[in-house]
Structure 1
């Protein structure tokens, strides 16, 4: 394909770069100082004052809710292709997407509610999410089973009169430690006798419903990811109205497939931004350091790594843009192989480039004096988020084989996966 951004996307890219230069990059140290101060006080789960200060500026600049296409509520939403370069810019500073109300898991949850929720639920939960007044969490992954196969889920959703009763244990429920988290989208099984992919359902669950207990926040390579966090949570006899179900009983797997497609490409777009910034750090460091009588930038081993980084980043970006174009023009289902491919490629590229950048910085690379260790830890985690590499490679291979193995492989299922 010939990549052609719309004039609006090109304009937004320039405005976003200017916003980043004025408000985000100069405040990176302030953000970290703020988070560390909260940790020293014993409570890292405090929303960032800086982010809250910048949100109105982003909204006034027209840089708000750009992720959500085809929504009457969000006419400013962009196509996947037009959003891709903006999301890449967000990825350069991990917390920046919050400023523009374009951060996970809220983006995926907002898209889910827009597509599948009733108008009453949209007014109650989607509208305040779109205004950036609250945050949300997606409760799917479970510690007791391999959640790379969502049909393994054990949590139960049982109807009793005009209520659904929820019981189960979830973990890696991103965003749930944030005190602004007011609503969960919960996936569990409603009918154990139904066909394998019709057993699951999704419910909208207010976070203050009795029976929800946050057991602990989880760390990612030692990072707490405050103030949002990823928690292990018990749902014990949690009751919600039957009206809170999305689409109907047995539609959870279908909803998850629809939710995770856009989520995966957003992760990949941000991963390209991470890789680009890591390469910038690498080159600047190599140009400024001398070892054994020569600049590091003059040593051939670094020529190889810098060149390989540039090749990998540009290849990954083109694949992501191609996938975004397919999602816009033929839909997520037709583009499922390409979505799986970018989910393998992009975080592997960003992790590798971050690793080389860390190596170029020596001891500084693994310290908190540079953002590289945090960038690497988050990108290594993305190789699990929304499905591990192995599941996506399996799906890609099956789709490649379908023309060779007969009619039995003509329809290839792409597993719904999230987390570990």
Structure 2
């Protein structure tokens, strides 16, 4: 979620966002892929060099345009300020999206995927003062727009959101056959968008059989009560169901093979750390499952996911994490065990953050995860506090002309999630 101060600070080592800067609900980030940004270097051959990652080209209260560095490239990234969940906020977001659309179409190469178009960085002056005026941008014909969305999502709204995003086409193949073809990643090969629902604007997000999670919710709770009869009278709150859904999805995302960074495989990430998220449970459940009773939360997670004790001793990133640099292609993050992560979040410490990661050698690896610390946002009509989530796999846009429609539908989808209303987006939908 954008604030110029936050966005700049998050690039620096061991910097935390300044207090009181997260003031709105929905922010957007657009990565313009297959673009290259270069700095002119007179007197050398070739007379240019790639900008380092996170070089800020333009920064003002509404936009931050910076370079990203993916797979050896130097893509362009546009971050917006966050917008209020209101009619006025939506209108401001649409104005922003049209401005980004204009930028993309102006700089984009009109030819095939092998064509290139070079423009000076000064073309970004529509967005504000350019900090690196001597550079240039090289766009190819195969460029796409990769949107990411950051918003506060109420903990009790997460199961319903997962129900929409987790819908998929079961087809005629058995689960065993799908697992054989793509072990551990079934949902990635049989996903089907669900018409004009939440899945339309966010259809790039593919959750790992979350319909099965929701279907087994009663059985998982029953199994926990059978194992621990002292909880026979306890019924999970909607917030607890949301926490179980969120941690289960994290566990699945961490199992993806050959992740290139700790956050690459995630459909979305929590920018609020999990220690704070557990504090959003109702007071009675905080008493039962947090602090000195954190073992009860570990037992609940184990029973719900049918995990044995030895499973909890395995690395959270059981699929491995690798560096982009082929000369550093070694596995990292083995130090973080699934059980330790689950247990410690209930004791007030999220180990999947650079602040608390157990192996200090790789403490910078989980950047962005839990980066906002204990910051939450008021959402919905009752203003309840919600964790801040980043949707990392929203629908990829082949053309920037789709940007305004994507922004509007995403905006309304998130509003609908937090207000618990029908997730249909026709002419009749209006924001309060």
Question: Fold-level match, TM-score > 0.5?
Answer: no
The structure with the greater share of residues assigned to helix is 1
By relative contact order (CA 8 Å, sep 6+), the higher-ranking structure is 2
